[in-house]
Chains A and B, each alone.
Chain A
Amino acid sequence: MAQSLLEIVEQEARPYAGARVTRVQLRIGKLSTVVPDALRFAFDAITRRGIAEGAVLEIEEVPLSIRCRQCEEVFIVEDPFMICPRCEGIDVEMVSGRELEIRSMEICDGD
């Protein structure tokens, strides 16, 4: 996961010769298997001596939310159940919770 992230970051920074990556903003869904601290640990390890060394990962943790088609409403839920908390129906779809996204990154010119 950290490797895939780094490949995208390096690819996006490539047009800016000499730039260093200082921050990367991510959105990680609650239901995803990524643990933010574990990702930071792995990312720190693989960015040593590269253009993203020291880059800070800012991670927005996205809650699990589901839309109930019967109630026509979106609910943020704590438990990973695909059941409407109001009507207990199963005609639901996940709206958020599985994100593994890079939103943006910050670079600064090299010295």
Chain B
Amino acid sequence: MEIKLVKEILEANAAIAAQNGALCAEQGVYVINLMGGAGAGKTTLLERTIERLKGRRRMAVIEGDIATSRDAERIAAHHIPAVQINTGGECHLDGNMVRAGLGQLDLSDIDLLVVENVGNLVCPAEFNIGEDAKVMVCSVAEGDDKPLKYPLMFQVSSLLLLNKIDLLPYVAFDVERFCADALKVNPHLEIMPISCTTGEGLDSWLRWLEERSCTKGA
């Protein structure tokens, strides 16, 4: 016999993600899902961000990796709350994992939460975790063909940080072509060229964050 369904395969995840989002909104926490390929510079970007936002926004980070706590340790060295989630093999974070991470944080004491996803340009795009915005990090050392190769990731992101621009003289990366392709896939994507090494472009990134998050006070 046939059973008619019409169900989303990921409906369970969507429900948990919605709960995560509601919980954070209730507590005035702005949540970013930070995605990008392995080595794009996500963790370094977070370190530079934490340094510059000190005293202006209370930050916390949930780190997602397949293994090790290296990234959470790097963040914790900046004296902000950092929770490490080891997926043990899953190539992306999901709502359930992030819910567990939220449970380890005092949300009443946080203005801005960044969830650093597993380094991967594919699966994280499919799994909502309760974020307010998806932000991508791509580096000029990764090749300029990524928008056409990984369209969904570019499509679901609000902001793309094009990192390591200090390396442009040394790599065959066509910035114009990359941006044109990215904007075809997502005409509403905001693209910011940055360098976490030289600091170029980081002010715009900080302004973007400050415009969207607010501080609940001292």
Q: Give the most central of B1, B3, B9, B12: most A CB within 10 Å.
A: B9
Question: Is A101's beta carbon under 8 Å from chain B?
Answer: yes
Answer whether A33 and B122 are a contact pair too, CB < 8 Å, given A4-B13, A100-B9.
yes
Query: What residue of chain A has the Cβ atom nearest to residue B6's Cβ?
Result: A103
Interface size class of A (residues with CB under 8 A): 20 to 34
Across the interface, do B10 and A7 meet the contact criterion of CB distance under 8 Å?
A: no
Question: In the bound complex, how far is the Cα of B125 from the Cα of A105, in angstroms?
Answer: 27
Contact with B1, one of A79, A100, A107 (Cβ below 8 angstroms): A107
Query: What residue of chain B has the Cβ atom nearest to residue A94's Cβ?
Result: B155
Residues of B close to A31: CB separation below 8 A: 151-152, 155
Across the interface, do A4 and B10 meet the contact criterion of CB distance under 8 Å?
A: yes
Question: Is A17's beta carbon under 8 Å from chain B?
Answer: no
Question: Is A70's beta carbon under 8 Å from chain B?
Answer: no
Question: Is B8's beta carbon under 8 Å from chain A?
Answer: yes
CB distance from A62 to the nearest CB of B (A): 13
Contact with B2, one of A26, A101, A106 (Cβ below 8 angstroms): A106
Contact with B10, one of A12, A82, A100, A108 (Cβ below 8 angstroms): A100
Query: What residue of chain B has the Cβ atom nearest to residue A99's Cβ?
Result: B8
Across the interface, do A101 and B9 meet the contact criterion of CB distance under 8 Å?
A: yes
Residues of B close to A1: CB separation below 8 A: 9-10, 126
CB distance from A43 to the nearest CB of B (A): 11
Residues of B close to A13: CB separation below 8 A: 3
CB distance from A51 to the nearest CB of B (A): 13
Question: In the bound complex, how far is the Cα of B187 from the Cα of A33, in angstroms?
Answer: 20
Q: A8-B12, A82-B155 are known; give 11 further A-B pairs, CB within 8 A.
A: A4-B12, A31-B151, A34-B126, A80-B152, A80-B185, A82-B184, A98-B152, A100-B126, A102-B8, A103-B6, A106-B1
* 24 examples of A-B residue contacts, CB within 8 angstroms: A1-B9, A4-B10, A4-B12, A8-B9, A13-B3, A32-B126, A33-B123, A34-B126, A79-B184, A80-B148, A80-B155, A90-B187, A98-B152, A100-B9, A100-B126, A101-B6, A102-B6, A102-B7, A104-B3, A104-B5, A105-B5, A107-B1, A107-B3, A108-B1
Give B residues with C-beta under 8 Å from A: 1-13, 122-123, 125-126, 148, 151-152, 155, 184-188
